[in-house]
């Protein structure tokens, strides 16, 4: 006896309601997965994987196509500095399943104040070069992100990113044609805030310095 196909209740909902469900599901998939990025394997911090592929995308092709852009739109990346020869600098990426550059809309960057500007910008360019649809970038600079070292954290407001770092980071942002908003938060210096405020032709939010 052949069982007749059943209509999915999810598909019977309005598209706007389905989109809200996909957004809710996206928040539950926080996976550090750098296997398909340009990162060297020895450089990235291994992350805990809750699933290699979101279950929602394994239901049917229609839902997979519809939900993919929402599930893959947010990416969080953290740069942690090492202490000279004792600890190497590391970075971790939080994303859903397979890295999908063209689906990324919102990029959240956490930067340790002691992380050197040159490798920081170089890594951003290498990893997110193909991400042409980024609309929102949030840069949070803080001494609290570094958990590897035992020496005292640098005081707030003293980011190690100098003028060349500002310029390189600004050039990176300018390669994103769909960028609409840039947010700067945390332990940033006043020159960095002024440089970003006057160098970008998009809406900017400069938060209070910690």
Whole-angstrom CA distances from 181 to 111, 196, 197 are: 18, 12, 11
Q: Is the pLDDT of residue 172 over 50?
A: yes
Local structure of 122: helix, strand or coil:
helix
Rounded to the nearest 10 degrees, how much is the dihedral formed by the CA atoms of 138, 143, 146, 151? 170
Residue 72 corresponds to which tokens in the numbers above?
A: 């893959």
Q: Is pLDDT above 90 for 104? A: no
Q: State the Cα–Cα distance between residues 102 and 105, nearest whole angstrom.
A: 8
| Residue at 23 is within a domain | no
pLDDT at 33 over 80: no
Domain count, the chain: 1
Per-residue pLDDT, 85: 39
Nearest C-alpha neighbor of 186 from the set 129, 144, 136, 137: 144
pLDDT at 42: 44
> What is the rounded distance in angstroms from the CA atom of residue 156 to the CA atom of residue 113?
8
Nearest 5°: CA angle at 175, between 31 and 29? 10
Per-residue confidence band for 56, with pLDDT thresholds at 50, 70 and 90: confident
Does residue 134 lie within any of the structural domains? yes
pLDDT at position 208, please? 66
| Residues whose CB falls within 8 Å of the CB of residue 82, separated by 6 or more in sequence, listed in order | 88, 89, 90, 148, 149
Supply the angle between the helices 190-199 and 163-174 in degrees, to the nearest 10: 30
Mean pLDDT over 170-182 rounds to 91
* Cβ proximity of 46 and 112 under 8 Å: no
What does pLDDT average to over the chain? 71
Strand partners, 141: 111, 186
Q: For residue 188, how many other CB atoms are within 10 A of its CB? A: 25
pLDDT digits (tens, 9 = 90+) for 65-93: 888 778 778 887 777 765 443 445 566 66
Q: What is the mean pLDDT of residues 2-30?
A: 75
- 127 near 38, Cβ under 8 Å? yes
In a domain, 67, yes or no: no
Domain extent for 162: 31-52+74-209
The arithmetic mean of pLDDT across residues 106-115, rounded, is 82
Other C-beta atoms lying within 10 Å of the C-beta of residue 41: 8
Q: Which of 1-15, 19-33, 124-138, 196-210 has the lowest mean pLDDT?
A: 19-33
For position 135, what pLDDT does the model report? Answer: 94
Q: What is the pTM of this model?
A: 0.71
pLDDT digit string, tens, across residues 112-168 = 777 777 777 887 887 788 889 999 999 888 776 544 433 334 444 445 566 667 788
Comparing 89 with 178, the larger pLDDT belongs to 178
């Amino acid at each position: 006896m052949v069982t007749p196909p059943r209509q999915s209740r999810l598909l019977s909902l309005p598209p706007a309601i389905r989109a809200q469900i996909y957004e809710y599901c996206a928040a539950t998939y926080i996976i550090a997965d750098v296997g398909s990025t340009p990162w060297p394997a020895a450089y990235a911090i291994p992350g805990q994987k809750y699933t290699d592929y979101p279950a929602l995308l394994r239901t049917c092709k229609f839902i997979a196509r519809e939900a993919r852009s929402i599930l893959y739109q947010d990416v969080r990346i953290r740069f942690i500095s090492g202490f000279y020869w004792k600890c190497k600098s590391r970075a971790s990426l939080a994303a859903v399943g397979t890295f999908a550059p063209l689906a990324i809309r919102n990029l959240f960057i956490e930067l340790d104040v002691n992380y050197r500007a040159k490798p920081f910008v170089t890594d951003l360019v290498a990893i997110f070069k193909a991400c042409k649809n980024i609309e929102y970038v949030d840069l949070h600079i803080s001494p609290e992100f570094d958990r590897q070292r035992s020496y005292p954290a640098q005081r707030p407001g003293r980011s190690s990113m100098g003028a060349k770092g500002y310029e390189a980071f600004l050039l990176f942002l300018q390669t994103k044609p769909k960028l609409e908003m840039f947010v700067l938060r945390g332990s940033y210096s006043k020159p960095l805030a002024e440089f970003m405020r006057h160098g970008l032709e998009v809406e900017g939010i400069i938060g209070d310095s910690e």
